[in-house]
Amino acid sequence: MKAHISTLTSQHIAEFPHMSWADAAPRVSPRVRRALETALERRDGAALTRDECLLLANSESDDLAGLLVAGNELRRELAGDVVTYVVNRNINFTNVCFVGCRFCAFSRGPHDDDRYFMPLDEVARRTVEARERGATEVCIQGGLPRGLHPYYYRDILRAVKQAVPDMHTHAFSPMETVYGVELTGMPLADYLRMLREAGLDTMPGTAAEILDDGVRAILSRNKLSSARWREVITTAHRCGIRTTSTLMYGHVEEPEHWVDQLLLFRAMQSETGGFTEFVPLGFVHQHTDLYLKGLARPGPTLDEHLKIHALARVLLAGSINNVQVSWVKLSREVSQMCLQAGANDYGGTLMDENISRLAGATSGQYLGAEEFHQRIRELGRVPAERNTTYTKMNFELRPEACSGALARPAVAGTASAHAGPLVTIAEASR
């Protein structure tokens, strides 16, 4: 396992957020400069060859700083100066799980003293409480316990919708979906349609980690295969269920895996148009077997945190134009820097985040809207509360104060047909 070393200097870190591409370009090597200028000119990552993508993924020092600047320039062009967030609540309904992922410190066995399983009325109660605290979304995921009632995922959705009918329900990873299919014996498409009818609005594209079966065998031998993950997601999209796309970085993977996964997401988006955003998820290593047994490096370096957000912005430009910061896995400072390296979304308030916390994350379980606003304004950007699918935004400021911060709309024909609305204002400020 090769160690990854940061190559950005303190000068790079201090300067890149304030640099234009014209400032950065003279410092960048010719091949990297040509690749980045191609992406900047076309505002479309499809213009890059795989070799150019790999070149960017392996960039260091001045070249990496140039990638960060280019990512920020593309962010400004494609998403404007608005930074969005969603008011949501995590509901992890059980921590009992038989899968045994080596990167997870959340799961418990069926006889552990600290195991738990929420009854449906508790899920409903937490949904009502979330609405009382201003949430528009509940994000529901949990462990996979043996002996689960075959239709329990459907029943959770019914409980949420009965409690708060208009609560957006973002629920069940592809791994949970496959488990539900196995329990019920239903065909995948029929099972997903049943969940949708019961109240499933969107699905988290988690359980992806790295979509390479060699890497997946190290991370978790019992996890669904890369092909099965893709099948679940594309089937969900065809059933009218939009999803996020994710990648876990900073463990045993290499830059080539990042490139392959981002290009896969581009291909899937061209096929279905169902992704709402891309979410890089840094590996939180401290309490995981994967790290403690010497199988993984100790989480991402600063270079990796910044690089994956910038690389995603460049490679996914014109395809998936929302790039999210997973603040719960990052420090405040690194979250802010990632928003200056290509990201445009701060994710959710979460309210009850447990999975990253138990793995060793120390950024907390909840960020309120006021904290989001403070952080976003520190960057000179405009905060906006969004809905789950980025089709509605609420600005705290007067609308006329926000107009200059909106995206310069992508030039017609430069983005794919599935790029979707980026910063549509559907509601005036409060």
pLDDT tens sequence across 208-263: 999 999 999 999 989 999 999 999 999 999 999 999 999 999 999 999 999 999 99
Residue 423 counted as domain residue: no
- pLDDT value for 397: 58
> In this structure, are 252 and 110 located in the same domain?
yes
> In this structure, are 233 and 324 located in the same domain?
yes
> In this structure, are 159 and 14 located in the same domain?
no
> In this structure, are 51 and 197 located in the same domain?
no
Residue 12 burial (CB < 10 Å; 0-12/13-18/19+)?
buried
pLDDT tens sequence across 289-339: 888 889 899 999 999 999 999 999 999 999 999 999 999 999 999 999 999
Residue 408 counted as domain residue: no
Burial of 96-133, coded b for 16+ CB within 10 Å and e otherwise, reads bbebebbbbbbbbeeeeeebeebebeebbebbeebbee
- Provide the number of structural domains found in the chain: 2
What is the rounded distance in angstroms from the CA atom of residue 378 to the CA atom of residue 262? 30
Residue 293 counted as domain residue: yes
Question: Which domain range does residue 322 map to?
Answer: 86-364
Helix crossing, 50-57 with 255-272: angle to 10°? 130
Maximum Cα–Cα distance across the chain: 62
* Residue that is last in its domain, among 364, 381, 396: 364
In this structure, what CATH number is given to the domain that contains residue 304?
A: 3.20.20.70
Asked if 59 and 360 count as a contact pair (C-beta separation under 8 A), the reply is no
Residue 186 burial (CB < 10 Å; 0-12/13-18/19+)?
middle
Neighbours of 153 (CB within 10 A): 25
Residue with tokens 């935004």: 393
pLDDT tens sequence across 63-109: 999 999 999 999 999 999 999 999 999 999 999 999 878 888 777 88
> In this structure, are 99 and 56 located in the same domain?
no
Residue 373 counted as domain residue: no
Residue 328 counted as domain residue: yes
Asked if 405 and 82 count as a contact pair (C-beta separation under 8 A), the reply is yes
Query: Which is higher by pLDDT, 361 or 346?
Result: 346
